Chains A and B, each alone.
Chain A
Amino acid sequence: MIHQVIALIALICGIHANNNFYNESLSLTPLARNNLLANFNFEIKSLPKHLSYYNESNDKDSIADASHYTYFPRSIGPLLEKTNTRELHLRFAQGWWDSESWGSLPVNGSKSGGTGVEVWAVIEAPTSKEALKSWSKLAVSLSAFFCASLNFIDESITTFPINAFNPDTSSFSADPANKLFLLRAAMPSEPICTENLTPFIKLLPTRGKAGISSLLDGHRVFDSLWNSMSIDIQTECDDESEACNFKMDQSISVIVDVMRSLRKKENGPIPKPVEGDKLQCDKSRGYSVWQCFPLGLPTEITYSLRDVFGRPINGGPFSSQGVPVTVNFKAEGWDISFKDGMNKVVSLSENDSTYTILGDDEVNIDFKASDSSKTVGLQTAPLHASRSLTGYSQDKGGFRVVFENPGDSAISFVYFESLPWFIRLYLSTMKATSKGQTGTYQEVDSSEYVTLSHYQPAIDRKRPSHMELLVTVPAKETLTLHYEFDKSLLLYAEYPPDANHGFSVEPAVITVLDTNQKKVYELRTTSSLVVLPTPDFSMPYNVIILTGTVISLAFGSLYNLLIKDVITEEEFEKFAAQSKLRKLRAKIKSLKSFLKSK
């Protein structure tokens, strides 16, 4: 046994020594309520190369050398170099993270985005103007690449975060005269779908054909309760050799409702009612053929990776390289075993919960739970935060942000919020209330809890408002911030096609800091939908029709006046007497009087 283990370790080390440029790993965590959290991680490095500042006008051919990319996607490298991007971070996420029952976000939230697409980058440039130029070039290219509407990123939604994103200080610039700029933008209303996943998988050297990426089927990933994709590219430089390489971390996290997957496998996607005899009823509570008090979720379940993702893992990424798969579980409730193509079964134990998949054979994982509620308790999130809209009117509204510190010590964090220019924020309206364990809110002096570390008001159509607050919440306390805004009117052409849906406000980003001001956790609130006063777009046509009618009426009368003679009333009477009608009347009258006289 010991020999086997040593051999395995040697093998793993060997693989790692062989391939420094590509690594992947999968970690699976059964959660409460029969959910499964799957974390896919991929790490790719490019060959070291001398870092240079690309200047469009000077050296057009400096990117020609492509030999240093190896596993690193050839499509991304030149793009980064041409835009002098030293760091690039992309987030595609969908869903609501239930921090109450799922705990803290995977990897302390450092890889999880908020609703929609978010991108931030460190760009080397002499001036911020140059940086913005590179930024929009980068955004447009990424947009085509990831089939996301990143091309709509412009000045009006771009911010330069100060404290919130904690850029890696180890970023390097090629030219010491240049500065590094951190730029960030988010598109909260972007729906994340398979069209974003496909390019994501294409960046991998395995192309979704081998290794853990073979599990990434769009239908399954996007039938999850929550999912997040991330790409983080950093420039790593060796101080001695002055050679730099790109390091790309790609990751996908999904939370899958296992019961739903099993049900879909058995009954198809339609939620047909369960057959009467298959109902799981609490027989102690008035049970009959016609009556059933349903039992809660079953805790004795059996499923396999194939049930959840539709297929097994297709071996290691390369024939010479394995992939470590970790399952975090509790032995008292769970029995986890790996089954490869040769039907060899390897069971995991709680302490040794990693299995390395080698070779080309398909590997399936069986999850057998005698009590599925016994899960490795995820760390409780250090902070619960939510943001909601207040008010009802079309011209103004407010935000109410709730921070709940469930921990036993005070917590401080940076609250970053960027609002579109058409939402005019009033910092003067900021009010804070706080609730201890007693349960009732008390108005408090906001300056005791909140320090405004940065605020930049919006400029119409030019720049969003950008607010960073440094907030401290004492242990076991809940703090709410309330602030108000006005909604402004847009120009006719600025309304999007579905203006009646409302305008999305991007999620606020919260960076929890430790005592050394280092980032320890990151989370995002949900996005919000703000209704702006939306005109009735058929109105211009109504106005055109009405104006047309009025003008034609006026013209008619005016024309009438112009072409007719002006005469006195006496003259008119004279003329009128000669009209045919009058003559007829006169005749009848005379006839009458004639008859009378007779």
Chain B
Amino acid sequence: MALAETILRAVHKHDLVPKLTRALPWISLLFSFASVIWLLMLPIDGNYRKSYISENALMPGQVTSYFRESEWNIVRGYRNELKIFEGAAIDERNAVVEGWLKDIGLKTAYHRLHDPSVQDNMYAILHAARGDDTEAMVLSVPWTTSDGEYNLGGASLAVALARYFNRMSIWSKNIIIVFSEDGHKSLRSWVEAYHTSLDTTAGSIEAAIVLEYGGDSDYFEYYEMHYEGLNGQLPNLDLLNTANLVSYHENIHISIQQTEGEKLTRNDYLTRLKTFLKGIVSLTLAGIVTPSNGCESFSGWQIQAFTIKVKGTSGGNDITQIGRVVDETFRSVNNLLEKFHQSFFFYLMLGPRYFVSIGTYLPSAALIAASFALSSLSCMLNSGFTIPHFLLNISSVLKFFVMIELSSFLLSTFLPYLVKQTTDESDKISLVNLILLSMTSLVNINSKFAFSMISFSLFFIAMVIVALLILNFSLALCIGLLAMPLQFVQQLLNSIEAKIKVFLCLFVSNPFFVVYITGGLYLEAFGYQNGTLNLMTGLLTSWDDVQCWTWFIVMLGWFPAWLSIAISCGLGDFKNQAPVSYIKKNQ
């Protein structure tokens, strides 16, 4: 308290309050910069951590997997048979594999979807001998990989593994093998049905591996590990570390965030930074971008899941090694007497064996939230109006904002509905744009009200970021960084000539502009076709298909704030009342 007193005295003495008030925009900008710099600091040696196994019971790499030698012949045998069904319908493929799995001794069942747009799923349960039938592990094989290939290697590997697993009497958890059309809607609906309506079940699912091995090659170079869940959820880091360690013993390189070539083994600042930033973006886009990798279909049901996506056809690793990775990972999970609860659920990967945990990266998003809060304050204090002005306005500000929020809500529910109704793909975007344009209502707004509105909206964004901070760090950070130009609007409004700059700020920070840019540039750079359309359709359908919130967060968090700032700027009457700084008046 004595310290506080000293500080207060110094503040009074040097008349810091008005100085600080004037410097607020700069301070807020500083916070934004600090946030970015914080992010850039994380991949520097000493700021990240090396991964380790936290749960002792897992004991990865402690067993010898015998999925080798003549098992390879069997994988080839199944693959040779499955190759015939490359062009066949999913039902036909399922029936063939079902016959084999039944022969091996598994219990098979179908998940009938009664939805013409999605094929039925087939799954088989290996009941653990003497097991209590309360827990299960899932090996999921989408018939079509995320690259659009026929998952020939994955399917034959899964059947051979089922045969191999069935010979062992060590299982304490059941093993479920799921064959779905793809890793997106059909797999997601299976996971949902498993927990709501399926008759044949095998206990609560602890872990899941999605296997993608397209083509009929015996050899591969490396595999990509995908782990992003929906709505910012991630699988327990212990599971990833287990698979990583097992693969390390098998001498397989793992690609995190699609690193390629020599970068697989390189461990320098730039590689780590690239993986790290890409991780943030792909976590933000998880569930929205199709084709997806399948692992996200399991999130939200307390299931730890990751995807193994095999790359290359000519490397030094053979197909049974992937079988061994699956085998040994399952053996580790089988050892668990508890649910995954050790280690981290919130982390960002810098490489297969490096990560930063939530405590280290969280300040970055906190800083950007603070930056918004400060610019909101700055907007209130530097607009030339006294605080009582704002307080008088508060009820109408709230009324106005609630109205905007309500219309955004209507829009957010109406648009996905509309998209479901229209079948023509290209119509969707134009329709959406039309509706968004017609949103602007013609109201005359005085400048006091406009400034209150801007201030409130900035504060609203700060609150959205804070609320999302822990649950979905990536989305919070991305919204924060992308909406940052909104902070400059008030500053620019003070100088009347800068209309173009204001317009630019608003344009750049518009959620739909961002969608357009991300879709068009970022996604297409990574080989997605029709990036913008893909992203927009993903946003609109992700809630119905996979229960991903991102659309609603954008539409109820970011968009209304942007809209109210845009309306305030566009319709605000700033000329009648040239803004004079509050401080200047006093001096």
Choose among A272, A279, A440, A527 the residue that contacts B132 (Cβ–Cβ < 8 A). Answer: A527
Among B70-78, B271-279, B446-454, B533-541, the one that faces the other chain is B70-78
Among B199-207, B501-509, B566-574, the one that faces the other chain is B199-207
Interface CB pairs A-B, < 8 A, 9: A100-B107, A260-B169, A270-B66, A285-B81, A293-B78, A392-B302, A500-B338, A529-B134, A557-B3
Q: Within the assembled complex, what's the spacing in Å between the Cα atoms of A369 and B333?
A: 39
Determine whether B130 belongs to the interface, using a CB cutoff of 8 Å to chain A: yes
Q: Is the CB of B80 within 8 A of A291?
A: yes
Determine whether B315 belongs to the interface, using a CB cutoff of 8 Å to chain A: no
The number of chain A residues with a CB under 8 A from chain B is 71
Q: B1, B130, B135, B163: which has the most chain A beta carbons within 10 Å? A: B130
Residues of A within 8 A of B114 (CB): 440
Q: Within the assembled complex, what's the spacing in Å between the Cα atoms of A498 and B55?
A: 13
Given A96-B133, A275-B70, CB of A392 within 8 Å of CB of B167:
no
Residues of B within 8 A of A534 (CB): 341
Q: Within the assembled complex, what's the spacing in Å between the Cα atoms of A287 and B81?
A: 11
CB neighbors of B among A422-480 (8 A): 439-441, 478, 480
Q: Within the assembled complex, what's the spacing in Å between the Cα atoms of A480 and B77?
A: 41
Residues of B within 8 A of A116 (CB): 132
Q: Is the CB of A273 within 8 A of B81?
A: no
Given A223-B169, A501-B337, A501-B339, CB of A271 within 8 Å of CB of B66:
yes
Given A274-B70, A569-B9, CB of A526 within 8 Å of CB of B133:
yes
Determine whether A251 belongs to the interface, using a CB cutoff of 8 Å to chain B: no
Distance in Å from the Cβ of B345 to the closest Cβ of chain A?
12
Choose among A291, A440, A531 the residue that contacts B302 (Cβ–Cβ < 8 A). Answer: A531
Query: Which residues does A use to contact B, with CB under 8 Å?
Result: 33, 94-96, 98, 100, 115-116, 188-189, 222-227, 257, 260, 263, 270-276, 279, 281-282, 285-287, 289-294, 296-297, 386, 388-392, 400, 402, 404, 439-441, 478, 480, 498, 500-502, 504, 526-529, 531, 534, 557-558, 560-561, 564, 569
Distance in Å from the Cβ of A564 to the closest Cβ of chain B?
7
CB neighbors of A among B117-167 (8 A): 127-135, 163-164, 167
Residues of A within 8 A of B131 (CB): 95-96
Q: Is the CB of B302 within 8 A of A257?
A: no
Q: Is the CB of B77 within 8 A of A286?
A: yes
Q: Is the CB of B302 within 8 A of A225?
A: no
Q: Within the assembled complex, what's the spacing in Å between the Cα atoms of A404 and B72?
A: 40
Q: Within the assembled complex, what's the spacing in Å between the Cα atoms of A184 and B443?
A: 74
Q: Within the assembled complex, what's the spacing in Å between the Cα atoms of A227 and B133?
A: 14
Determine whether B88 belongs to the interface, using a CB cutoff of 8 Å to chain A: no
Residues of B within 8 A of A498 (CB): 337-338
Q: Is the CB of A290 within 8 A of B76?
A: yes
Q: A500, A528, A558: which has the most chain B beta carbons within 10 Å? A: A500
Q: Within the assembled complex, what's the spacing in Å between the Cα atoms of A560 and B2?
A: 7
Determine whether B62 belongs to the interface, using a CB cutoff of 8 Å to chain A: no
Contact with A along B163-195 (1 / 0, CB 8 A): 110011100000000000000000000000001
Q: Is the CB of A294 within 8 A of B77?
A: yes
Contact with A along B348-375 (1 / 0, CB 8 A): 0000000000000000000000000000
Q: A270, A273, A281, A531: which has the most chain B beta carbons within 10 Å? A: A273
Choose among A272, A285, A504 the residue that contacts B77 (Cβ–Cβ < 8 A). Answer: A285
Residues of B within 8 A of A282 (CB): 77
Q: Is the CB of B73 within 8 A of A480?
A: no
Q: Within the assembled complex, what's the spacing in Å between the Cα atoms of A226 and B129?
A: 7
Q: Is the CB of B199 within 8 A of A386?
A: yes
Residues of A within 8 A of B302 (CB): 392, 531
Q: Is the CB of B133 within 8 A of A500?
A: no
Q: Is the CB of A227 within 8 A of B130?
A: yes
Determine whether B513 belongs to the interface, using a CB cutoff of 8 Å to chain A: no
Choose among B107, B134, B200, B341 the residue that contacts A526 (Cβ–Cβ < 8 A). Answer: B134
Q: Is the CB of B77 within 8 A of A502?
A: no
| New A-B pairs, 11, CB < 8 Å, besides A275-B70, A291-B80 | A94-B130, A115-B134, A188-B132, A273-B71, A274-B70, A293-B77, A389-B195, A404-B199, A501-B339, A504-B132, A560-B1
Distance in Å from the Cβ of A385 to the closest Cβ of chain B?
11
B2's nearest neighbour on chain A, judged by CB, is: A560
Q: Within the assembled complex, what's the spacing in Å between the Cα atoms of A291 and B83?
A: 14
A-B pairs, 4 with minimum CB distance: A293-B77, A500-B338, A529-B134, A292-B73
Q: Is the CB of A296 within 8 A of B74?
A: no
Given A263-B167, A292-B74, A389-B204, CB of A222 within 8 Å of CB of B66:
no
Determine whether B115 belongs to the interface, using a CB cutoff of 8 Å to chain A: no
Contact with A along B54-89 (1 / 0, CB 8 A): 000000000000111111111011101100000000
Residues of B within 8 A of A390 (CB): 195-196
Q: Is the CB of A226 within 8 A of B130?
A: yes
Q: Is the CB of A279 within 8 A of B70?
A: yes
Determine whether B579 belongs to the interface, using a CB cutoff of 8 Å to chain A: no
Given A224-B130, A281-B77, A569-B9, CB of A272 within 8 Å of CB of B195:
no
Residues of B within 8 A of A225 (CB): 129-130
B340's nearest neighbour on chain A, judged by CB, is: A500
